[in-house]
DNA sequence: CTGTTAGCGCTTTCAT
DNA sequence: ATGAAAGCGCTAACAG
């Protein structure tokens, strides 16, 4: 029990540490030492006698004392937090990236404060505003597109910034990403190589998903460079484009360009939707239409036929982003100069059965 | 700019609020008022003259002052945090639940501290230990199975606790869930109704995924009650069971029980794996084998043929769990008594094309 | 080895 | 309408 003393009335707001809760003082009193000694005993400071430490730790166990990280970090003028924003937590690619980050940050004793921008720049700005009030020691953003206000906010926070999943023109700090445009182009070239000449693209409607937009731009550029039509583009809806929207996009694509012989999709989710819809309509894949996705989602590896896609080391992006943040933090603590770096992550076309 | 004064040396740990950063004091000085007045102006306290407020807010904007939530909440003896643990963030069902929670908590001005237990009770315990140091104002756990130490820890924190996605025998506080055993049983009865008599089950190996284990128990119970064999169970690997493991499980199932005419799976992911493998082998679904999943994942709604499954309102679980936490917090703040409640969430069999 | 003092940035409370 | 003092739980720095 945290042993809230039975004070007359509870705090109005439901305090996390109600008056009368066990604090370091309580432990100190019970152990007959000063708070400072408790503090030292807790951090295995060698300058506490074995005897004293044992006595203190015993009390700690008995009363179930849990140190208050907020107070500790506050007094240290640190927050122990890192803020990380992703377009969606309900997306296996970003979930993997978050997982990669948390591995590294956990080991460094930093807590992650997660935000889900829902592919909206204004929501990103709001989240940044809210999260900065927690004084994160570093901020990790997805992509390079941010509102002007958001850029000012994070830049003004004076903490390391890492942008991921993209190669921004004007980075705010470190970058761990890859060129989504190149990825889009690579897929077109792959399809060309496989003999496809009438290639379409299925993507998201708006520019909020800048990565998707860039893949589309890469599609167009590469198609034209190869002398293919680059205008066979179906915008399937707001990002993130779902499987169902992929299915609908097939319909739209066939209505407008019935002779399409390959469809590159902004993600495996929409690609799988296209595939399923082809199966429903009895369209042979890849016989009549080849399909390609992006992201190497689990479904792409498992479905039948297996989806050709582009694989990126999502968790690796997260780990490297976290390491970059730690590197910047470390340089700062050593008062060293450290130029922000851009790490280009590999992507590769994974040839499977649909294209 | 947070305007770090050019102090001689930065703090050793890369402080979130380095000495010399803009604080309320700075703003106060620049506006020629006391910190207290700044504080009031910021919270639109009416007891500040329009003039003064404007002047203060002007300075705030000019220097880009961002209030320090840690300090504010610390002084209020609150944390503004809610801790939420899920078995996996990379699982659309739980991601939806988290999303539902964050909707409600955002509106209440509470920040979520997320933890990913990776289906491990010991990791759950570690996470609880770590998160409690942040003094969350409420704790939301998935399921009712926790280590003894974990139970003690959260119970001792003296904050509202909500358990989700299950109906624990000995709840720690509020519950928002459903009987996974009933869900497993319901699917068997559905398959029976559709004429299936040789039903198998594909699930996870260990007991860490208690929800999966319960669905399996429900399968067995219902099968026996109907006079069917209840032992056709393939354990496909550690939870969460992947699509690929589902595919492997089909092989194992057919090797041992070649006449199986229906396969109920612990989740849509494994079910989809089974489906894809059937397609690969030219096994007619549902002609020769019916397949059923759980969770109504996106892939289940979109694949071909569409997966029969069990749907749960995942986001709703999150919202209701958050509301329960807020309810408990509110009662506490009003010093009212409030008995923890158990909310039974509906689930329903969604009949589609695979069964 | 242990204790004392001061203070982190903010708000609550009481004065003015 | 505004300010001054005290303190939230903890630790850095210095004393002993």
Per-residue confidence of chain B (355 residues) as pLDDT tens digits? 333 333 333 333 345 556 568 999 999 999 999 999 999 999 877 788 999 999 999 999 999 999 999 999 999 999 999 999 999 999 999 999 999 999 999 999 999 999 999 999 999 999 999 999 999 999 999 999 999 999 999 999 999 999 999 999 999 999 999 999 999 999 999 999 999 999 999 999 877 788 999 999 999 999 999 999 999 999 999 999 999 999 999 999 999 999 999 999 999 999 999 999 999 999 999 999 999 999 999 999 999 999 999 999 999 999 999 999 999 999 998 889 999 999 999 999 999 999 9
Query: pLDDT digits over A202-223, tens only?
Result: 999 877 788 999 999 999 999 9
pLDDT(A6) > 60: no
The pair of structure tokens assigned to B71 is 């300090």
Q: Which of A78, A157, A272 shows the shortest C-beta gap to B15?
A: A78
- Give residues with Cβ within 8 angstroms of B330, minimum separation 6: A14
Of B166, B214, B174, nearest to B312 (Cα)? B166
Phi, psi for residue B326 in degrees, rounded to 5: -65, -40
Interchain contact B19–A (C-beta under 8 A): yes
Q: Is the domain defined by A10-67 classed in CATH 3.40.50.720?
A: no
Domain ranges of chain A: 10-67, 79-179+315-345, 180-312
B contact residues 57-96, partner A, Cβ 8 Å cutoff: 64, 66-71, 73-74, 76-79, 81, 89-90, 92, 95-96
Q: Give the Cβ contact number of residue A165 at 10 Å.
A: 26
Give pLDDT, residue A85: 98
Nearest to B276 among A153, A247, A304 (CB): A304
CA-based nearest residue to B188, from B287, B308, B345, B344: B308
Residue A341 confidence (pLDDT): 97
What is the C-alpha to C-alpha distance for residues B348 and B313, in angstroms, rounded to an integer?
10
| Fold of the CATH domain B79-179+315-345 | Rossmann fold (3.40.50)
pLDDT at A21 over 90: no
For position A287, what pLDDT does the model report?
96
Rounded Cα gap, residues B270 and A158, in angstroms? 46
Which two structure tokens, joined as six digits, stand for B30? 């620049």
Same fold, A10-67 and A79-179+315-345: no
- Confidence band, pLDDT 50/70/90 cuts, at residue A12: very low
- The C-alpha angle with vertex B214 and arms to B140 and B347, in degrees rounded to 5, equals 70
CATH of A180-312, picked from 3.40.50.300, 3.40.50.2300, 2.30.30.40, 3.60.110.10, is: 3.40.50.2300
A302, A318, A338, best to mutate vs chain B, most B CBs in 10 Å: A302
Q: Does B337 touch chain A (CB under 8 A)?
A: no
pLDDT in the model for residue B82: 98
What lies within 8 Å, CB to CB, of B68 at 6+ separation is A133, A135, B17, B23
Nucleotides of D under 7 A from a protein CB: 1-5, 7-13
First to last CA, chain A: 61
Q: Give the pLDDT of residue A16.
A: 54
The CA distance from A27 to A63, in Å, is 8
Residue pair A183/A162 in contact by the 8 Å Cβ criterion? no
CA nearest to B174, candidates B336, B321, B335: B321
The answer to whether A301 contacts chain B (CB < 8 Å) is yes
In this prediction, residues A16-21 reach a mean pLDDT of: 63
- All residues of chain B having their beta carbon less than 8 Å from the beta carbon of residue A1 are 155-156, 158
Assign 3-class secondary structure to A151-209: HHHHHHHCCCEEEECCCCCCCCCEEEECCHHHHHHHHHHHHHHCCCCCEEEEECCCCCC
What's this model's pTM, rounded to 2 decimal places? 0.93
pLDDT confidence band for A44 (50 / 70 / 90): confident
pLDDT for res B11:
32
Phi, psi of B134 (to 5 degrees): -90, 5
Mean pLDDT of all residues in A138-147: 97
Measured in Å, how far apart are chain B's first and last C-alpha atoms? 61
CA of A49 to C1' of D15 (A): 19
CB B352 within 8 A of CB B308: yes
Chain A residue at shortest CA distance from B149: A64
Check pLDDT > 70 for residue A19: no
CB B102 to CB A116 under 8 A? yes
Is B302–A1 a contact, with Cβ atoms under 8 angstroms apart?
no
Q: In angstroms, what CA-CA distances link A37 with A26, B69, B352?
A: 12, 29, 65
Q: Is B9 in CB contact (< 8 Å) with chain A?
A: yes
Q: Residue A310 pairs with which residues in a beta bridge?
A: A349
């Amino acid at each position: 029990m945290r042993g809230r003393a039975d004070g007359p009335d509870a705090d109005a707001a439901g305090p996390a540490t109600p008056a009368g809760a066990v604090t370091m003082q309580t432990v100190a009193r019970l152990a007959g030492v000063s708070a400072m000694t408790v503090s030292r005993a807790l951090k295995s400071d060698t300058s506490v006698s074995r005897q004293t430490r044992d006595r203190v730790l015993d009390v700690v166990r008995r009363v179930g004392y849990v140190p208050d990280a907020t107070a500790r970090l506050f007094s240290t003028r640190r927050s122990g937090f890192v803020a990380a924003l992703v377009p969606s937590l309900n997306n296996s690619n970003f979930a993997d990236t978050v997982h990669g980050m948390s591995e590294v940050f956990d080991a460094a004793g930093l807590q992650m404060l997660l935000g889900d921008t829902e592919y909206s720049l204004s929501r990103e700005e709001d989240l940044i505003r809210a999260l900065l009030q927690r004084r994160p020691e570093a901020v990790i953003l997805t992509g390079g597109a941010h509102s002007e206000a958001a850029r000012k906010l994070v830049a003004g926070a004076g903490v390391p910034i890492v942008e991921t999943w993209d190669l921004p023109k004007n980075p705010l700090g470190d970058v761990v990403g890859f060129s989504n445009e190149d990825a889009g182009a690579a897929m077109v070239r792959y399809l060309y190589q496989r003999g496809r000449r009438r290639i379409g693209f299925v993507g998201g409607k708006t520019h909020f998903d800048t990565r998707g937009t860039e893949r589309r731009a890469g599609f167009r550029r590469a198609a034209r460079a190869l002398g293919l039509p680059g205008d066979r583009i179906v915008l399937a809806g707001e990002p993130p484009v779902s499987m169902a929207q992929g299915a609908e996009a097939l319909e739209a694509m066939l209505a407008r360009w019935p002779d399409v012989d390959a469809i590159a999709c902004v993600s495996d989710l929409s690609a799988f939707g296209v595939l399923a819809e082809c199966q429903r309509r009895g369209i042979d894949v890849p016989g009549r239409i080849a399909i390609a996705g992006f992201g190497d989602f689990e479904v792409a590896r498992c479905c039948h036929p297996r989806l050709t896609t582009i694989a990126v080391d999502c968790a690796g992006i997260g780990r490297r982003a976290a390491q970059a943040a730690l590197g910047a933090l470390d340089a700062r603590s050593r008062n060293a100069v450290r130029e922000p770096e851009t790490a280009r992550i590999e992507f590769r076309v994974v040839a499977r059965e649909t294209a």
